Structure 1
Amino acid sequence: MDLLIYLAPASVFLGAMGLFAFWWTLRNGQYEDPAGDAARILVDDPEDRPA
């Protein structure tokens, strides 16, 4: 039972960190153009190739 004293706050902290990371990605526009991102990986752009 003493282990729960450490595990419960740790799990709440990790959950809060996950929610914060998700909120941060929403605020920075990571999910603005999912269809364009999906199509962009299929385009063969010669400028993207290593020299």
Structure 2
Amino acid sequence: MNIVFLLIPVAIILVAVAAYALHWSLKSGQFDDMDSPASKILFDDDDDLIPDEAKGISAPQDKSRD
């Protein structure tokens, strides 16, 4: 029975911490845009990382060597 006197305050503190974390996340805008992160992975934004040879594009020739 004595453990109840310890567990009830601990549970109340944990609920208070969870409620504060939820309030902070709502206030700071963590849940404002739920759709963009899911579709952002679909857009290919690594064109500058792919070498020209892999794209099938010939590299520009330096005309100053003529």
TM-score range, shorter chain: 0.7 to 0.9
Deviation, 1:37, is: 1.4
Point out 4+ residue stretches in structure 1 off by more than 6 angstroms: none
Q: Which of the pair has the greater relative contact order for Cα pairs under 8 Å at 6+ separation? A: 1
Aligned length: 48
- In angstroms, what is the RMSD of aligned CA positions? 1.9
Quick one: percent identity of the two aligned structures?
Answer: 34
- Give the gaps of 5 or more residues in structure 2: 50-66
- Give the gaps of 5 or more residues in structure 1: none
Structure whose residues are more often helix by fraction: 1
TM-score with structure 1 length normalisation? Answer: 0.79
The higher radius of gyration belongs to: 2
TM-score with structure 2 length normalisation? Answer: 0.63
